[in-house]
Structure 1
Amino acid sequence: MDFSNLHTILRSLYDEMMPLCEDMAGVAQGIAGLGALFYVAYRIWQSLARAEPIDVFPLLRPFVIGFCIMFFSTVVLGTINSVMSPIVQGTASMLEGQTLDMKKYREEKDRLEYEAMMNDPSTAYLVDDAEFDRQIDELGVTEIGTAAGMYIERGMYKVKKAIQNFFRELLEMLFQAASLTIDTIRTFFLIVLAILGPISFALSVWDGFQSTLTQWICRYIQTYLWLPVADLFSTILAKIQVLMLQNDISELTNNPNVDLDGSNTAYTVFMIIGIIGYFTIPTVAGWIIQAGGAGNYNRAVNTTAMQVGSGAASVAGGVAGNVAGRAGKLLK
């Protein structure tokens, strides 16, 4: 199964679903227009009631949001995707480079294993049919037991290699399936966020829903980063496999008779860790960008400053009262 084609289909699906954003833009414009009416009217009335000059700059906010809703696909989604796409391309190129290295070293390792077994007469018949036939022909009729043992050992070796290849291919397929699962959920979330994005922008015009705008942008970027984080995770695992293959190649070069069963087991363990680790990608992407952090920090600082100011005022009032009291006693 070619998983790269499935990832390409998901990207095409996202592009095909983007025109649906225009269907929501009309509804969103109505919601935003009504919200802008109340937004502007309330602030003008508030300024007039307090006999204060009208600050025009904050009143432009609903009009800017309305402009973003009108051209949501090109202005909002186009800008975010254009900024984030180089990150996706960069991590994809990193993964591709490590994958190519892994394939090259795996082929080198298989070649060294084959040559090491061919150079040893006691194991050459296990991997080469011609060598097996030659050794069988050299055995006489009286050595039927030895020939039967060779057949059994060759069969057991093939079964062992078949089981190892089966588990390796199964784990690699599950690893690719986990990657495809993350990409599918990511594409689904991005499509939903993109289609309903104009509604989120429209609701942010209303008082009490201003944070909807920043939260939508935060959620969209977080979801968009799932794919780069997944590629980085795959790149790290591919690099680990490359290092393991390099170590195996070094050992085979120095000692052709080395046993690599432990290395194969470690490879299996890392593949299982990779499959489990893929489902932590949304959490890692959430660490990269968060909305409202600065606002909460400023709110906490302002609250602390107000509390300190109130405490200082209380202390100053108490000190002033004590001084005034003592001064009054001295005057008496």
Structure 2
Amino acid sequence: METLTKGIGNMGGEFDNLHQILRVLYDEMMPLCGDMTSVAKGLAGLGALLYVAVRVWQSLAKAEPIDVYPMLRPFALGICIMFFPTLVLGSMNAILSPVVQGTHKMLESQTFDMNSYQEQKDKLEYEAMVRNPETAFLVSNEEFDKQLEELGWSPSDMATMAGMYIERGAYNMKKSIRDFFREVLELLFAAAALIIDTLRTFFLVVLSILGPIAFAISVWDGFHSTLSQWFCRYIQIYLWLPVSDLFSTILAKIQILMLQNDIEALQTDPNFSIEASNGVYITFLIIGIVGYFTIPTVAGWIINAGGGIGNYGRNIGTAAALGGSVAGAVGGNAAGRAGKLVKGAGSMAKSAAGKLFRRS
């Protein structure tokens, strides 16, 4: 168990190095957005010329005074394009980076506590098995050799000795298989976080390099929403990392609570099942792997461009209205059928009463 813990620590260190490489990659790719500024300047300049010309022509055609304030928009976007790496990206990263640093500190504190509790649990688990004479020889070579020395060479002792070898071999094989699946799931768990971070870095690099083009296109009439959508996408994808750290923090906190319960059970309950605890931990890893791929969806809930309730709310409202109309139609039909049944029942009762009256 101690070897497994060291292996997990080494694997976590390697993945931390890969995450750091992605940070360096993003910083080194940022100067490339300067190569797009020349193209964006020409595109924005032509759009600004048409933007101003159309509005001046409209004002002259309507014999109205020319409103200068709306015409400053293309020039403001042009300034943003000229100083895009520092003015736009630098400002946004400076505003959003404290969020990343805060969530990362939370994750580091929970991970440190989790590692300390894991070491304490491993130690108590080993001590609990050593204290039990029936399981001590499974984990302790000294206890195994001691019990072998106590046995003689009678047929019954030989059978007991063979059973000890078989039971110890079965325990080691079972432990090796369990540790193998545990290491595989922990590898997939770390790989899921790395996949999210890699996609995040790729999307941010693309948005940053092509950002000046998006700003230039937003100058043209009919493409004004491009600017708000670019900001929305950049902030959403940037928040993938803080959301991932928060998710990892929650998982680490849950694991700490599980470890605390296991430690308390190992200290007080002599019949505590260690195998059940390991099974719960493996199931917990599977849940964490699946949960990592919901991070982009959660980050999309934090910010939404366009205002209002958004497409999601509109879809819900449409579905609710449709459901209401369907329910109304169904209720109306049901009421109509009920009315017909009541009317039919009334006529039948009236007819039956008339027949009885005539018979009497």
Displacement of 1:295? 10
Seen in structure 2, the aligned counterparts of structure 1 residues 69 and 295 have a Cα distance that, compared at 3 Å, is farther
Cα pair 1:112 1:252 within 8 Å, conserved: yes
Return the alpha-carbon distance in structure 1 between the equivalents of residues 184 and 89 of structure 2: 38
**Residues 244-276 of structure 1: CA deviation (Å, up to 9, x unaligned):** 111111111112341122221111111111111
The residue number in structure 1 matching 2:200 is: 186
The residue number in structure 1 matching 2:335 is: none
The residue number in structure 2 matching 1:259 is: 273
1:145 maps to which of 159, 177, 183: 159
SS of 1:208's equivalent? coil
The residue number in structure 2 matching 1:308 is: none
SS of 2:212's equivalent? helix
The residue number in structure 2 matching 1:318 is: none
Cα pair 2:40 2:212 within 8 Å, conserved: yes
Return the alpha-carbon distance in structure 2 between the equivalents of residues 114 and 205 of structure 1: 68
Alignment gaps of 5+ in structure 1: 301-332
The residue number in structure 1 matching 2:37 is: 25
1:107-256 alignment runs, 5 A limit: 107-142=119-154, 143-256=157-270
Return the alpha-carbon distance in structure 1 between the equivalents of residues 283 and 309 of structure 2: 44
1:78-117 alignment runs, 5 A limit: 78-117=90-129
Displacement of 1:19? 0.9
SS of 1:158's equivalent? helix
The residue number in structure 1 matching 2:286 is: 272
Seen in structure 2, the aligned counterparts of structure 1 residues 233 and 94 have a Cα distance that, compared at 3 Å, is same
Displacement of 1:96? 1.2
TM-score by length of 1: 0.87
Amino acid at match of 1:162: S
Cα pair 2:200 2:240 within 8 Å, conserved: yes
2:306 maps to which of 292, 317, 320: 292
**Residues 296-327 of structure 1: CA deviation (Å, up to 9, x unaligned):** 79xx9xxxxxxxxxxxxxxxxxxxxxxxxxxx
Cα pair 2:81 2:215 within 8 Å, conserved: yes
Return the alpha-carbon distance in structure 2 between the equivalents of residues 264 and 296 of structure 1: 44
Return the alpha-carbon distance in structure 1 between the equivalents of residues 42 and 287 of structure 2: 50
1:304-315 alignment runs, 5 A limit: none
1:311-322 alignment runs, 5 A limit: none
Return the alpha-carbon distance in structure 2 between the equivalents of residues 28 and 170 of structure 1: 48
Return the alpha-carbon distance in structure 1 between the equivalents of residues 132 and 36 of structure 2: 72
Displacement of 1:294? 4.3
Cα pair 2:304 2:310 within 8 Å, conserved: no
Cα pair 2:81 2:212 within 8 Å, conserved: yes
Cα pair 1:116 1:257 within 8 Å, conserved: no
SS of 1:141's equivalent? coil
Amino acid at match of 1:22: G
The residue number in structure 2 matching 1:72 is: 84
Give the number of equivalent residue pairs.
298
**Residues 34-60 of structure 1: CA deviation (Å, up to 9, x unaligned):** 101111111111112212111111111
Amino acid at match of 2:115: K
Q: Identity of paired residues, percent?
A: 68
The residue number in structure 1 matching 2:50 is: 38
Amino acid at match of 1:176: A
Amino acid at match of 1:13: L
Seen in structure 2, the aligned counterparts of structure 1 residues 156 and 131 have a Cα distance that, compared at 3 Å, is same
Return the alpha-carbon distance in structure 2 between the equivalents of residues 14 and 46 of structure 1: 45
SS of 1:207's equivalent? coil
Displacement of 1:99? 1.1
The residue number in structure 1 matching 2:65 is: 53
Displacement of 1:171? 0.6
SS of 2:293's equivalent? helix
**Residues 67-110 of structure 1: CA deviation (Å, up to 9, x unaligned):** 00000000100011111111111111111111111111111111
Amino acid at match of 1:109: K
Seen in structure 2, the aligned counterparts of structure 1 residues 11 and 214 have a Cα distance that, compared at 3 Å, is same
Amino acid at match of 2:244: A
Seen in structure 2, the aligned counterparts of structure 1 residues 152 and 190 have a Cα distance that, compared at 3 Å, is same
